[in-house]
Structure 1
Amino acid sequence: MNQPLAYVHPGAKIAKNVVIEPFTTINNNVVIGEGSWIGSNVTIMEGARIGKNVNIFPGAVISAIPQDKKFDDEDTVTIIGDNTTIRECVTINRGTSDRMKTQIGQNCWIMAYSHIAHDCIVGDHCIFSNNSTLAGHIVVGDYVVLAGMAAVQQFCTIGSHAFVTGGSLVRKDVPPYVKAGREPLSYVGINSIGLRRRGFTTEKIREIQDIYRILYQKNYNNTQAVNIIEAEMEATPERDEILQFIRNSQRGIMKGYFTTN
């Protein structure tokens, strides 16, 4: 770790086998776990809590203060989970008084030029392609994939195993297990390829498809669809996760592809 051309504040807690490349700045009140690699010209600001075996590439800025005029220098943090990779020029801001943290899960891959704003909570095994942008207060489930240049509006929620196509503008909540595309963003099917890759059986994928046919392809409103799904579909963890997501949605879920509003 002894890199004479990097600046590491004496108050930072850095594990012994962390590699820090030249021209990087690590501020006070930072923790970096074992086996992590910090590339050159990275800036890690106060409040960063970086796990084990994290790779951060040149130009990234981690735990900068929020781009939020209401921020009043609260003592907040940015948490990066183990085995996560953060590519070039990614910016991740720390939390505000809303959640007191911004958090990225384990085994995530955040590609170049992506931005994750204050108070976002990102699950495990997520992939954000180049120039993905999350505004503040967003919740993203596990195994979510955002294709390049996707932009998510503040306070939205994206369910686990969802896939959002490139260039999408996410203004409504995206339920679990689906593919989201078109403009305005709409349901275009379930994420069957991703589910197969993660070991979902053909029967389980059919079950999820049947649920979303009722929700999106039978001309029911959301309340009607939820009642029918609950009455007619066998209770499973996936069914219950989808129903709970719809019921808990604050912004409303995205529309089906056949609707115009």
Structure 2
Amino acid sequence: MIHATAIIHPKARIGDQVRIGPFAVIGEHVVIGDRTIVGPHAVLEGRTQIGCDNHIFQFASVGAIPQDLKYRGEETSLQIGNRNIIREFVTIHLGTDSGGGKTLIGEGNLFMAYCHVAHDCHVGNGVIMANGSTLAGHVEVQDHAILGGLSAIHQFARVGAHVMVSGGAMVNQDIPPYTIAQGDRARTVGLNLVGLKRRGFGSETISAIKFAYRLVFRSGLRLEDALARVEKEVGTIPEVISFVEFIRKSQRGVAR
């Protein structure tokens, strides 16, 4: 159902069984996938492509231009996958030329009220951003990470898969996969063992991750020496490979 008061540009592409509430605004270049729900007063604009079975709640702003003074109206985009929940007053912005031109959102994510996803961010699948959590520009958040309420991620920082960022944390460096980060400025304080067990990680895998974590964060070894020993002793475990690769690719440094 599309409410009679919704304002929809005639060139917008609306899928089957889409529901659009009163006074919602849908822009010219917006594509909305099947069975997506758009709540009252939500604004969807820009070159925004939204997948199927999403629920965008009232007063959300999706696809607005970046809050970046370098942006000059270039034709950049926002791509959102399937089965995402975007709650009240969430803001998600288009990309910029300097960031590859795309903001990317995966599938099955929950953005609680007042979250902000800035230009050129890449958010994976199954991510939860609690109320008021904020991503600056060019941030990467990998699969199944959880960002606590009022936490903030610095531009160009990365949050690894299955990470738990505590409420109110100020993250200015990369947070490796499987860890917990807290504080201002945030540091890793342990492994997200509860999260790993809930996601079905086996005991052998968890033991290997524990070994890798202790070497990198608790042994006092130089980072490269610790990573080399991790690779030598448990380097065949896929999750450990991901842990090591994440750290090696860090540009901002690892919070430890």
Distance 1:234 1:245 in 2: 14
Report 1:248-259 matches (<5 A): 248-255=249-256
Residue in 2 that maps onto 1:57: 57
TM-score by length of 2: 0.97
Q: Compute the displacement of 1:187 (Å).
A: 1.4
SS in 1 for 2:103: strand
Distance 1:184 1:119 in 2: 23
Partner letter of residue 123 of structure 1?
G
Report 1:160-199 matches (<5 A): 160-199=161-200
Partner letter of residue 169 of structure 2?
S
How many residues get paired?
255
SS in 2 for 1:74: coil
Report 1:148-227 matches (<5 A): 148-227=149-228
1:141 and 2:146 aligned: no
Distance 1:146 1:234 in 2: 28
Gaps of 5+ in 2: none
SS in 2 for 1:180: strand
Gaps of 5+ in 1: 256-261
Residue in 1 that maps onto 2:132: 131
Deviations 1:93-121 (A, max 9, x none): 00001221111110000000000000000
Report 1:81-160 matches (<5 A): 81-97=81-97, 98-160=99-161
Distance 2:233 2:16 in 1: 57
Deviations 1:120-154 (A, max 9, x none): 00000000000010000011110010010010000
Deviations 1:7-45 (A, max 9, x none): 000010001310000010001000000000000010001
Distance 1:125 1:245 in 2: 19
Residue in 1 that maps onto 2:72: 72
1:19 and 2:19 aligned: yes
Partner letter of residue 226 of structure 1?
L
Contact 2:3 2:20 in 1 (8 A): yes
Distance 2:188 2:154 in 1: 17
CA RMSD of aligned residues (A): 0.9
Partner letter of residue 106 of structure 2?
G
Partner letter of residue 146 of structure 2?
V
- The percent of aligned pairs where both chains have the same amino acid is 41
Report 1:27-46 matches (<5 A): 27-46=27-46
Distance 1:71 1:124 in 2: 28
